[in-house]
Structure 1
Amino acid sequence: MVATVLTTSVVSAVSAAPAVKPAASTAQVQNSTLTINGNSVVVRSIVKNGETLVSLRDVIKAIGAQAEVRSGTTVIKLNGHTVTLQNNAKQLLVDGKKVNLNQPVTILGGTSYVALRPLVSSVGGTIVKRSGLLEVSTVALLEGAENPRFAGADKLIVSKSDDNGRTDYLVNTTSGKYDLLLTTDGGSDLIVSPSGDQAAYTNADGAVYVIDLKTKASKLITNDTSIKPELVWSADGSAIYFLQGDKGSVIASLNLADGTIKKLVEDKVDYKENLNVSADGKRFIYTVTTLGKVTSDATNVDEDNVSIDFSANQQQIFSYNNGISKPEAAQLTTSTDDKVFVWSVDGQKAYYVSVPSEDGNASLQSVDSSQEATTVYGVHDVEQAILSGGVLYVLTAQDDSNSVIISIDTVTGKQTKLYTVSSDVSSITVAGTQLAVIENGRVLVQAGGSWRAVTK
């Protein structure tokens, strides 16, 4: 992470660094605004022979580097790099290797000025231009993270897993800085609340915890040890709905105020998945998987002669209205296609990606109690669909090189092409106006029409 911020005495030493009297100069000092590690920063700058040089003191302070000054030589340390600058020299020494400069380190008014790009690159940083402003990042990004989820404004939860379990981090999407959030062995994924300030998870024993994303403190809600394969927040954040049991047979709710659990659907139907809950908590959409039928030859017990009919192995979508006097499950689909990325706004109509059993493109479908599936999007092969704020966001494969992200309003049906991205983008995540993608293992967030890497 970022090193200790430079002290005032060191900064003063940098600005008072000239060991060699500078030649007369007509350069005028100006104030330039940069975005450095997510913060708007004003730095002094001059133009020399057509190239802009920035105050070394100002940049060191803004990036939070360590610095030492001796006899006109400045040594900067950040992100494991050591950079040496000599007043009036036309090169930097970066980790022992020489890097040439177009303009020498220039002294003006007792302040050292140097070209920004080679200085930032020397400490492992990057510079991009967005909306006419330069954005500088010198933050050491988290490597190998996956499963990004937005957690309020400008925050993402990402995870890293190894043989010892899973570690979750909270990443600032503006600066890329990250903090340790949770370490667990056998716990479920963190599910972010609608408000974005809390996340729920189960430990290896099934106990449910809620973690405050500001304080990073976890609170035990219930120590009930039943298996809870899926957690879903209520719209108002007061309860958590979950599938219960090793086969997901029961739909239950957990009151966060007192920890009480209430079984809502207990119809002895196994293998429920993809639970969606309406805003009023009375309607559910979910899938049920029926397994292949196994038969054996009962006439010959000496041979293990078993056959499996995989045609019976299907996944269908169901709705359940718990707000009526005699609730029961209603089957919405009957087709044999695979159904993934199942979503619902109201607990009555379901959206899902239909993956055909034979060759062909996957498409986005909708279905309700009529049991008639309607194609919502089928122009290109659909790779993913997610629901956020009543809007569907769809990642589609346009061709071998490009994919497209589109939005679909579930009320009006209006489709809007948002971004064309590389075909290397494997998934997207959305919360409100915030959008992120995973590309070649990196998490990138959308920022002003371009993509900013927040992990590597």
Structure 2
Amino acid sequence: MVMKKALVVSMVATALGTSVVSAISAAPAVKPVSNAAQIQHSTFTINGSTITIRSVVKNGETLVSLRDVTKAIGAQTEVHNGTTTIKLNDHTVQLEQNSKQFVVDGTTTNLTQPVALIGGTSYVALRPLIAGVGGTLVKRAGVLEISTIPLLAEAESPRFAGTDKLIVSKNDDKGRSDYLVNATNGKYELLFTTDGGSDLVISPNGDRAVYTNAEGAVYTIDLNTQNSKLITSDNSIKSDLVWAADGSAIYFLQGEKGSVIAKLNLADGAITKLVEDKVDYKENLNVSADGKKFVYTVTSLSKVTSDSTNVDEDNVSIDFSSDQQQIYSHNIGYSKPEAVKLTTTTDDKLFVWSADGQKAYYVSVPSTDGKATLMSVDSSQKVSFVYADYDVEQAILSNGKLVVLAAQDDNNSVIYSIDTITGNQTKLFTVSSNVSSIAVVGSQIAVVENGQVLVSSGQGWRAVTK
């Protein structure tokens, strides 16, 4: 009889394809615990990564596995005489089983329900624990985002350095500080400080940046090693630095009035003047991939007029009608190169972009009340509407796509992607009207909202500064 029973057990185990011991010890995905609570596997975004944490719901409140959470946030944990001590970011949290209190940095914090021991694991309320170690919790697109990495405050002017980093800036009475910020979790490090130097302009592949110091000398900085290299100590004024497509040179406007378009060879520091046509006040320099075609704006200044027979101050007037900004193109590949005036209208022209040196895109701001629109103008001076649905606030040209930030109404703005070949428009996001600017690399977008930098994450946003 005993032999028959053993044979039956052996046959069942064989049919299941596993041993009797493993079949008995296999844990179900959800197991019942005391007070009818069930252990669940909840998904959170923790410091930019998707993490699964064991959790239970007790008395309407979600408690999470202390072991899982402290491991995910990288906290140090010690247990001594029944007291668990958690340390992170110069904060200390102490707790005990069945206690309805935390001690955070020496101050007692009350909980709605006690720390619970369930299945041999401590479960605690998530929010007070994260707050205790200096972290934040935000729910975006239905997912709770937890950040315990200290974020940089009051940063501005984000621009991508590759897909995984941002450069942001902070200004004070001592000058400007630039920081490298991890685009996934917000971890940051000081990159560069300057008093009177230019902005950092990032290379096409995102591994370097170029800048001028207050004296006009040009440096490159390796964004991986953070080492700077002097390229030239030439002290002429240089503005609108633009990288060559292959990263071998820098184009810039030279002189106090930006009259000259010049090229700086990064290998030997040699400077070559490419355009010297005596046309002053060039700005918004764009360079084609072959380095022969340029698009830029020229601003003509107001004229001072007076009665030729009486130059008393009361008879002096200023003619503002000539105060205009127009877009020009210049092709040095022609046998007789010369500047070509592409526009003649009196509107303000902002965010001027060109990829080929032939066609330019710009935001047209009317001189009278009315919404700003995104326009294009080609080498034949043909001006066309690109986007005019809402009031355009910013436009960026990136990898053949125009990314547009536009004010939809008093509460909302929209971000659109427009294909420059087909003209097809795709709405990417509806965002708060408090979004003041955007930055783009590939399909990734960063926005500045109320002074905070957020990076796109699926259909939501992840804060990388505070």
TM-score by length of 2: 0.86
Aligned AA (2:446): A
Name the structure 1 match of 2:148: 138
1:426-446 deviation per Cα after TM superposition (whole angstroms, max 9, x unaligned): 111111111011111111111
Inter-partner Cα distance in structure 1 for 2:41 and 2:405: 43
- Say if 2:75 and 2:87, in contact at 8 Å, map to a contact too: yes
Aligned AA (1:326): K
- Say if 1:342 and 1:353, in contact at 8 Å, map to a contact too: yes
Change (3 A) 1:25 1:364: closer
Name the structure 2 match of 1:73: 83
The offset of 1:380, in angstroms, is 1.3
Aligned AA (1:320): H
Inter-partner Cα distance in structure 1 for 2:253 and 2:360: 18
Equivalent residue for 2:235, pick from 225, 236, 239: 225
Map 1:33-432 to 2 at 5 A. Answer: 34-41=44-51, 43=53, 53-67=63-77, 69-79=79-89, 81-95=91-105, 98-107=108-117, 111-128=121-138, 134-300=144-310, 303=313, 305-432=315-442
Inter-partner Cα distance in structure 2 for 1:280 and 1:390: 17
Inter-partner Cα distance in structure 2 for 1:29 and 1:381: 50
The offset of 1:370, in angstroms, is 2.5
Inter-partner Cα distance in structure 2 for 1:336 and 1:139: 49
SS of alignment partner, residue 119 of structure 1: helix
- Say if 1:384 and 1:396, in contact at 8 Å, map to a contact too: yes
The offset of 1:190, in angstroms, is 0.7
Aligned AA (2:74): G
- Say if 1:334 and 1:371, in contact at 8 Å, map to a contact too: no
1:124-172 deviation per Cα after TM superposition (whole angstroms, max 9, x unaligned): 3233566876542111111000000001122110000111110000111
- Say if 1:349 and 1:369, in contact at 8 Å, map to a contact too: yes
SS of alignment partner, residue 189 of structure 1: coil
Gap runs ≥5 in structure 2:
1-32
SS of alignment partner, residue 118 of structure 1: helix
> Sequence identity, in percent?
73
Gap runs ≥5 in structure 1:
1-22
SS of alignment partner, residue 117 of structure 1: helix
SS of alignment partner, residue 365 of structure 1: strand
The offset of 1:52, in angstroms, is 5.0
Inter-partner Cα distance in structure 2 for 1:133 and 1:323: 55
SS of alignment partner, residue 229 of structure 1: strand
Inter-partner Cα distance in structure 1 for 2:435 and 2:145: 23
Inter-partner Cα distance in structure 2 for 1:262 and 1:54: 64
Inter-partner Cα distance in structure 1 for 2:319 and 2:141: 59
Aligned AA (2:273): K
The offset of 1:383, in angstroms, is 0.9
- Say if 2:163 and 2:441, in contact at 8 Å, map to a contact too: no
Change (3 A) 1:108 1:361: closer
1:184-212 deviation per Cα after TM superposition (whole angstroms, max 9, x unaligned): 11111111111011111111111111111
The offset of 1:229, in angstroms, is 1.4
Q: Which structure has the greater CA radius of gyration?
A: 2
The offset of 1:287, in angstroms, is 0.3
Change (3 A) 1:419 1:303: closer
- Say if 1:318 and 1:329, in contact at 8 Å, map to a contact too: yes
Change (3 A) 1:365 1:131: closer
Aligned AA (2:365): V
The offset of 1:97, in angstroms, is 5.2
1:250-271 deviation per Cα after TM superposition (whole angstroms, max 9, x unaligned): 1111111221111111101000
1:214-271 deviation per Cα after TM superposition (whole angstroms, max 9, x unaligned): 1111111111111111101111111111111111001111111221111111101000
Per mean C-alpha deviation after superposition, the further-off stretch among 394-403 and 95-104 is: 95-104
Change (3 A) 1:52 1:402: closer
SS of alignment partner, residue 341 of structure 1: strand
- Say if 1:408 and 1:415, in contact at 8 Å, map to a contact too: yes
1:51-106 deviation per Cα after TM superposition (whole angstroms, max 9, x unaligned): 55433244334323355544222333434544331221123233555544344223
